[in-house]
Amino acid sequence: MGQKGEETRGRLLDATRELIEEGGYFGAGLNQVIAASGAPRGSLYFHFPGGKDQMVAESVRRGGHEIGRVVRELAEAVPDTASLVVAVLALLGDRLEASGWRKGCPVATVALEMAATSDPLQEVCSEVYGSWEDTIRDRLAADGHPEAGDVAVTVLALIEGALLLARAHRSREPLDRVARRIVTLL
């Protein structure tokens, strides 16, 4: 595929990501994706012969890997896991607030809406969450935490829950409260 094809594919994935973060799986109709991306309809079917589920799965994976990369970079730059989680919550809070409380987690809405009914989408959501959990677990283990796996799941659940509450309340307060509690817990 040439550069123009890659650019078109990227625009379709970016538009899909924006739409699913703001309105979920069902808010990302094919017509909306085409309009938001500026791509011709035929490009959608060319780049995603598996249809909407393929496009959403690749978009979730792409968004998840982007967040995962940032979390890994933060993990290398901060002194301990508590600092990592505080930094991640601040970053995600900034992102959420800047979007007018529309963009929380690039995975959560699809996981909530589709994991029970679409195996491919469930698998990609699980893959992304697993990679984030691995990063947190590895950092906890490097800090010498004896229950790194269990605590990593707990921390990720607290982050996801805080994002949901912050979005629902349109307030950073849940993120700030979870950040303070995680510092205490770790």
Q: Is residue 63 part of a domain?
A: yes
Host domain of residue 88: 53-185
Band of residue 6 on the pLDDT scale cut at 50, 70, 90: confident
Model confidence over 60-119: pLDDT tens digits?
999 999 999 999 999 999 999 999 999 999 999 999 999 999 988 889 999 999 989 999
pLDDT at 39 over 70: yes
The mean of the pLDDT values for the chain is 93
Q: What is the pTM of this model?
A: 0.91
Q: Is residue 108 part of a domain?
A: yes
Residue position matching structure tokens 């890994």: 72
CATH of the domain at 108: 1.10.357.10
Q: Is residue 172 part of a domain?
A: yes
Query: What pLDDT does 103 receive?
Result: 87
Averaged over 40-62, what is the pLDDT? 92
Contact 109, 25 (CB under 8 A): yes
Averaged over 34-62, what is the pLDDT? 92
Q: Is residue 134 part of a domain?
A: yes
Query: What pLDDT does 1 receive?
Result: 60
Q: Is residue 9 part of a domain?
A: no
DSSP H stretches of helix in 78-172 = 81-98, 108-114, 119-142, 148-169
Number of domains in the chain: 1
Q: Is residue 35 part of a domain?
A: no
pLDDT at 140 over 80: yes
Task: Among 6-10, 87-91, 118-122, 169-173, name the one with the lowest average pLDDT.
Answer: 6-10
Q: Is residue 39 part of a domain?
A: no
Q: Is residue 36 part of a domain?
A: no
Which is nearest to 172 in space by CA: 68, 113, 109, 99? 99
Query: How far does Cα 6 stand from its chain's mean position?
Result: 22
Q: Is 52 exposed, middle or buried (0-12, 13-18, 19+ CB in 10 A)?
A: middle
- Coil/strand/helix, residue 34: helix
